[in-house]
Structures are given as structure tokens and as C-alpha cells.
């Protein structure tokens, strides 16, 4: 022991507490405590070992315990050490009692004493990292060569260090857990209640919506028909700073240019046949609110030029008018057309595209949303039975399978219509496949119950897809992923290693 008196010891401990207070991750904390313990007790090597699940693993290695080396230990040596003193470490983990052995080589508690000789280990000290009644892990030190001059005081000091580390770990674990929880709560908040989805693809949408919400920037929503573009546009308005002001939507597809422009910008009486009054444009009515331009790709180049002016200068001129009108609107535009194609063919102004495209939200097709199909279907069943005043109904397991196998070319809108009809035609409390009236051509080529086709992906690809999706949905947290899949952390670890080559 480097410290001659209690005062010095006390000061050293205080310093350790201070240093531990400054670390932000459990790995960093373990590294710090090992380095400090080793230095303060003049040990040759040291490591810390955590009970699995003590803290959200920052980098787990698929081991049952998490080990932080440093202090002279190589990874292989740590594993060798686990073999040699595994039972001692396990004992400390189980009982919470420290172990000190001055002459380890003649101590029966250590498994293979010849290994201790090979590794030149003379003395060993292990202290539990304990907080309240929970043993979070073990702090291990060893001395090689000459026997360590360890006494009871030194052991108490090591125990105090381990306890400091445990308290800091516990706080950190809590902080890390809270942070993770906070992230998922925030994502939850970003999800408007009517927008159902838990798939990784939809989580990405919710996360991006969360970023867009507080801003005033234009948004371009892309995606196939019926994927929920308008629903998202409404949610962005209802939950953003302009909530409470007007939300105005204008469908721009298949409208003659003059009619569309007169809708958007208003017109002066007599400016064209049929303009018998002055008319205020929707942009003026939307002042302070959000303007949703649906099927924006279908507008003419001339209308696009006028829209660009609204976006750049916040002003426009009603049809046939000489006056300029100002409007403060947030623009959300949507289209199900391929924008890059429209740009290439010169049907859409590039400058307008870049103006609109501050944020692009791409709605995934329903067929890429996995089990969301069932979540949404269940919600629609409930919605329509309530609306029609019918007793509750549910979907048979064959029906559920069929819903998942169908390709949904019309996406959520089609699902909504299918469920609406099924609720009406089903005669019992259970909705069966025949009630869906789906086109059997579009079942991914399969009928329900049939599980294998020649061109089906091999099992390993399916497993890989499922595992990676699940991992993404837990933000890369392997412990949670393994738990939710019902596999061991070790299994998950090895599979991930295989797949990453
Ligand atoms: N994630 C979802 N959860 C629940 N309902 C949804 C979801 N997405 C879409 N819907 C519903 O599906 C229908 C179609 O959605 P919406 O009109 O927003 O699609 P769209 O992308 O604008 O379609 P289009 O391109 O044909 O205009 C609406 O009834 C909407 O409420
Ligand atoms: Mg729409």
C-alpha cells in the first residue's frame, strides 16, 4: 500500500470518486477503476467483470459476463484467468464476499494450480462491486513474482474502491437506461396516434417526423398511393408550431391550369370566363398555417414558377390581378410519381424541387412493413365494428396469414377498404379469408398455409433479415434483441459475427 495513514487513504478514495464521476459509459468506468486499483495497490494486472444485464452493454462480446481488461491483461490471458479462478470469481459474484489469497498457488480454491505457476500468479484479490444488495460484478487484481504485501487494511481499501465503482456504475446504468427510455419515449411522442406502425421502416419515418416538427422548412413526401402521405402531412401540421392555424390541402392532379391557379392564388373578377367575383386564393386563407400540395408533380411548369415565388418570397399574384399578396405558409408537398423521372423529362422545375425538398419523407409501401399490416388491420376491424355498431370481431389465423402474404398494391388505403368490406360481409365474430375477397394473384405467389416455394430465400437469409430488423428496432441493443427473439446473447453474438464475415 502506497498510503501511510488513513488521511492519505481517504484523500485517495475521494480522488477516485471524483474521477469516476467524470466518466460517461460503463466501459470507461470499468477501465478507470481497474487502472486506479492497480496503481493504488501496486498490482501487476487487473480486470473488472460485470454480471450480464447489470448495465445496458456498450459493447458486449457474447460472454455470459462482460469483462473489461486493461491493467496488463490481454484478452486471451483474461480468458485463461477465468478458467483458473473461475470458481473464485463466481463465488465472489454469488456471495458478495471478497477473497484475498497471498499464496494462490497453494490455495485449493483455485482450480489448476499449475496454471497459476505457468502464469506466474502469486497473490490474488477479488472484491465485489456491490450496491445495496445487488452484486454488479467483481474487481480482480493479481500480483506476480514476489508475494504481495497485502494486509487487511489493503483489502478494505480494495473493497471501498469496488463499492465506489459499483455506486458509479449503478448511477451510470440508470442514466444509460433512462437515456434509452427517453429516446424511445421521444420516438413514441413523434408518432401521431392515428399513424399505426412499429416496423423499422415506420420507425424511421417517425424519427424523421420528430426532426421536421419544430422547423418551418418545406417537406416533400414521397411514396406509393395509399401509403399515408396525407395523414403524415396532417400530423406534421397538427403537432407542429402552426397547429391551431389553418391546414389547407389542394389536390393538384388533373386540374386545368387556370382552375388550379385560381384555387391557389385567387382571381380578379372577369379575369377569365366564369370569374364573376373576386376570389381569395387558398394561399391567402392558409396564412400562418400549412399548405398541403397533393400530387405536386402534376402541376404545369407555369404553376410551378408561381409556387417557387411563394416559397422564395412568400408572395404571389392572384390571376388577372396587379396586386401582390403576401402569405406566410409552411409548404408540405406530396407525390406518388417518380420525381427523378419528372426532373429528367423536364416536367418538373429543378429549382422548385430543391426548394421543396428541404426534408424528404419517403413512405414505405405496406408490403415492407412486416407485422404492421396486422396491427393496422386489427385497428380497422375495431374501428369499423364500432362505427357500424356491430359486436366485436377478430381475424382468424388464416386471415392474418393471408393479410401478411398479400402484396397490397393499394397499400393502407386498400387494406382499409378490404377490412371495411370484410366487417360488413362476415357473418360470425371471426373474419375468415373468404370475407376479404382478395385477388389470389397477388399473394406473393402463395396460398395461405403453403410455406415453401422454390425461389423462397434460404432459412438463414430469413433468420438474418428478422434478426437484423429486430436489432435495428432496439437501436442495436443486443441484450434486448436476444431477449425478444428468445435466443441467447451468445447465439446472437456469433450469428452477427458470421454475417459480418
Ligand atoms: N400508418 C397508418 N395507420 C393507420 N392508417 C393509415 C396509415 N397510413 C395510412 N392510413 C390510412 O390509409 C388511407 C390512405 O392514406 P393517405 O390518404 O394519407 O394516403 P396517400 O399516400 O396520401 O395516398 P394517395 O397517394 O393515393 O393520395 C387513409 O384512410 C389513412 O387514414
Ligand atoms: Mg393523398
CATH number, domain of 97, equals 3.30.450.40
Domain termination site, one of 347, 364, 381: 364
| Nearest one of 487, 483, 485 to 53, comparing CA atoms | 483
Residues 210 and 327 in one domain: yes
Residue with cell 467483470: 49
Number of structural domains in the chain:
4
Stretches in the chain below the pLDDT threshold 50: 55-66, 68-74, 187, 190, 445-454
Residues 229 and 174 in one domain: no
Give the residue, out of 224, 226, 253, 294, with the most ligand 1 atoms within 8 A of its beta carbon, to mutate for a pocket test: 226
Output the nine-digit C-alpha cell for 302. Answer: 407555369
- Per DSSP (E only), the strands in 327-387 are 330-335, 359-362
In a domain, residue 451? The reply is no
How far the first Cα of the chain sits from its last, in Å, is 47
Q: Cα(175)–Cα(182) distance, rounded to whole angstroms?
A: 10
Measured in residues, the chain has a length of 501
Residues 101 and 225 in one domain: no
Contact 129, 26 (CB under 8 A): no
Residues 275 and 337 in one domain: yes
Q: Output the CA 236–ligand 2 centroid distance in Å.
A: 14
Residues 249 and 359 in one domain: yes
Which residues have CB under 6 Å of ligand 1? Answer: 194-197, 223, 225-231, 336, 376, 412-413, 416
* Ligand 1 atom closest to Cα of residue 372: 1
Quote the pLDDT of residue 143: 85
Quote the pLDDT of residue 181: 62
In a 10 Å sphere around its CB, with 0-12 CB exposed, 13-18 middle and 19+ buried, how is residue 471 labelled? Answer: buried
Q: Which residues contact 487 (CB under 8 A, 6 or more apart)?
A: none
Q: Output the CA 195–ligand 2 centroid distance in Å.
A: 14
In a domain, residue 57? The reply is yes
Q: Cα(254)–Cα(258) distance, rounded to whole angstroms?
A: 12
Output the nine-digit C-alpha cell for 374. Answer: 396486422
* Ligand 1 atom closest to Cα of residue 231: 18
> Which residue has the CA at smallest separation from atom 23 of ligand 1?
226
In a domain, residue 249? The reply is yes
* Ligand 1 atom closest to Cα of residue 221: 21
Residues 14 and 160 in one domain: yes
Contact 284, 325 (CB under 8 A): yes
Give the residue, out of 198, 227, 334, 365, with the most ligand 1 atoms within 8 A of its beta carbon, to mutate for a pocket test: 227
Contact 92, 129 (CB under 8 A): no
Contact 377, 415 (CB under 8 A): yes
In a domain, residue 186? The reply is no
Q: Which residues contact 321 (CB under 8 A, 6 or more apart)?
A: 266, 267, 268, 271
Q: Considering every ligand atom shown, identify the ligand nearest to the alpha carbon of residue 362 and give its number.
A: 1
Q: Considering every ligand atom shown, identify the ligand nearest to the alpha carbon of residue 222 and give its number.
A: 1
Q: Cα(246)–Cα(281) distance, rounded to whole angstroms?
A: 13
In a domain, residue 298? The reply is yes
> Which residue has the CA at smallest separation from atom 10 of ligand 1?
228
| Nearest one of 143, 123, 125, 122 to 44, comparing CA atoms | 143
Q: What is the CA radius of gyration of the chain?
A: 33
Domain termination site, one of 152, 181, 210: 181
Q: Output the CA 203–ligand 1 centroid distance in Å.
A: 16
Q: List C-alpha distances in Å: 458 to 36, 339, 345, 464.
A: 51, 35, 41, 10
Give the β-pairing of 394-395 and 266-267. unpaired
Residues 36 and 164 in one domain: yes
In a domain, residue 204? The reply is yes
Angle value at C-alpha 17, between 16 and 22, nearest 5 degrees? 95
Residues 334 and 211 in one domain: yes
In a domain, residue 225? The reply is yes
Q: Output the CA 263–ligand 1 centroid distance in Å.
A: 24
> Which residue has the CA at smallest separation from atom 18 of ligand 1?
228
> Which residue has the CA at smallest separation from atom 13 of ligand 1?
413
Q: Considering every ligand atom shown, identify the ligand nearest to the alpha carbon of residue 234 and give its number.
A: 1
> Which residue has the CA at smallest separation from atom 16 of ligand 1?
228
Residue with cell 471501498: 160
> Which residue has the CA at smallest separation from atom 29 of ligand 1?
413
Phi, psi of 141 (to 5 degrees): -135, 145
* Ligand 1 atom closest to Cα of residue 197: 1
Q: Output the CA 467–ligand 1 centroid distance in Å.
A: 29
Range of the domain at 272: 200-364
* Ligand 1 atom closest to Cα of residue 234: 18
Q: Cα(400)–Cα(175) distance, rounded to whole angstroms?
A: 40
Output the nine-digit C-alpha cell for 443. Answer: 399473394
Q: Output the CA 410–ligand 1 centroid distance in Å.
A: 10
Residue with cell 390571376: 319
In a domain, residue 289? The reply is yes
Q: Output the CA 229–ligand 2 centroid distance in Å.
A: 6
Residues 244 and 119 in one domain: no
Give the residue, out of 202, 203, 225, 231, with the most ligand 1 atoms within 8 A of its beta carbon, to mutate for a pocket test: 231
Domain termination site, one of 364, 381, 405: 364
Q: Considering every ligand atom shown, identify the ligand nearest to the alpha carbon of residue 233 and give its number.
A: 1
Long-range contacts of 272-278 (CB under 8 A, 24+ apart): 272/319, 272/320, 275/319, 275/320, 278/318
Residues 79 and 207 in one domain: no
Residues 58 and 92 in one domain: yes
Output the nine-digit C-alpha cell for 98. Answer: 471478497
Contact 195, 67 (CB under 8 A): no
Residues 50 and 113 in one domain: yes
Classified as helix, coil or strand, 343 is helix
Give the residue, out of 225, 230, 292, with the most ligand 1 atoms within 8 A of its beta carbon, to mutate for a pocket test: 230
Helices (H) and strands (E) in the chain, counts: 19, 16
Whichever domain contains 338, its CATH number is 3.40.50.300
Q: Output the CA 209–ligand 2 centroid distance in Å.
A: 17
Whichever domain contains 426, its CATH number is 1.10.8.60
Amino acid at each position: 500500500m502506497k498510503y501511510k495513514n488513513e488521511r492519505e487513504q481517504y484523500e485517495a478514495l475521494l480522488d477516485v470518486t471524483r474521477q469516476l464521476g467524470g466518466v460517461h459509459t460503463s466501459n470507461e468506468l470499468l477501465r478507470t477503476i481497474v487502472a486506479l486499483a492497480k496503481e493504488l495497490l501496486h498490482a501487476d494486472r487487473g480486470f473488472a467483470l460485470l454480471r450480464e444485464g447489470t448495465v445496458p452493454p456498450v459493447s458486449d462480446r457474447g460472454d455470459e459476463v462482460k469483462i473489461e481488461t486493461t491493467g496488463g491483461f490481454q484478452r486471451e490471458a483474461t480468458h485463461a484467468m477465468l478458467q483458473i479462478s473461475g470458481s473464485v470469481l463466481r463465488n465472489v459474484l454469488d456471495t458478495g464476499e471478497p477473497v484475498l489469497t497471498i499464496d494462490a498457488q497453494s490455495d485449493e480454491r483455485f482450480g489448476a494450480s499449475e496454471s497459476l505457476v505457468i502464469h506466474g500468479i502469486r497473490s490474488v484479490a477479488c472484491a465485489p462491486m456491490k450496491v445495496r444488495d445487488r452484486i454488479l460484478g467483481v474487481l480482480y487484481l493479481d500480483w506476480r513474482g514476489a508475494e504481495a504485501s497485502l494486509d487487511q487494511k489493503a483489502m478494505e481499501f480494495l473493497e471501498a474502491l469496488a463499492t465506489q465503482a459499483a455506486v458509479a456504475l449503478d448511477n451510470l446504468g440508470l442514466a444509460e437506461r433512462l437515456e434509452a427510455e427517453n429516446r424511445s419515449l421521444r420516438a413514441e411522442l413523434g408518432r401521431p396516434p392515428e399513424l399505426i406502425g412499429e416496423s423499422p421502416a415506420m420507425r424511421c419515418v417517425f424519427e424523421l417526423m420528430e426532426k421536421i416538427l419544430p422547423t418551418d422548412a418545406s417537406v416533400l413526401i414521397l411514396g406509393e398511393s395509399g401509403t399515408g402521405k396525407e395523414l403524415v402531412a396532417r400530423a406534421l401540421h397538427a403537432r407542429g408550431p402552426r397547429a391551431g392555424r389553418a391546414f389547407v390541402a389542394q389536390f393538384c392532379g388533373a386540374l386545368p391550369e387556370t382552375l388550379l391557379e385560381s384555387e391557389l392564388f385567387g382571381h380578379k373578377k372577369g379575369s377569365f370566363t366564369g370569374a364573376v367575383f373576386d376570389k381569395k386564393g387558398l394561399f391567402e386563407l392558409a396564412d400562418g398555417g400549412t399548405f398541403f400540395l397533393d400530387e405536386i408533380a402534376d402541376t404545369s411548369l407555369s404553376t410551378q414558377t408561381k409556387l417557387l415565388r411563394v416559397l422564395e418570397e412568400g408572395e404571389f399574384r392572384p390571376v388577372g390581378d396587379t396586386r401582390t399578396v403576401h402569405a406566410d405558409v409552411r409548404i408540405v408537398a406530396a407525390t406518388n410519381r417518380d420525381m427523378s423521372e419528372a426532373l429528367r423529362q423536364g416536367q418538373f422545375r429543378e429549382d422548385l424541387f430543391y426548394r421543396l425538398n428541404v426534408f424528404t419523407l419517403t413512405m414505405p409501401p405496406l408490403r415492407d412493413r412486416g407485422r404492421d399490416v396486422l396491427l393496422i388491420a386489427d385497428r380497422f376491424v375495431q374501428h369499423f365494428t364500432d362505427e357500424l355498431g356491430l359486436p366485436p370481431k377478430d381475424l382468424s389465423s388464416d386471415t392474418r396469414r393471408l393479410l401478411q402474404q398479400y402484396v397490397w398494391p393499394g397499400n393502407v388505403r386498400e387494406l382499409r377498404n378490404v377490412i371495411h368490406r370484410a366487417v360488413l360481409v362476415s357473418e360470425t365474430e371471426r373474419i375468415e379469408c373468404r370475407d376479404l375477397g382478395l385477388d389470389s394473384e397477388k399473394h406473393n405467389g402463395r396460398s395461405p398455409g403453403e410455406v415453401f416455394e422454390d425461389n423462397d430465400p434460404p432459412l438463414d437469409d430469413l433468420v438474418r433479415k428478422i434478426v437484423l430488423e429486430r436489432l435495428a428496432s432496439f437501436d442495436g441493443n443486443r441484450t434486448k434483441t436476444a431477449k425478444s427473439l428468445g435466443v441467447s446473447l451468445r447465439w446472437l453474438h456469433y450469428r452477427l459475427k458470421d454475417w459480418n464475415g
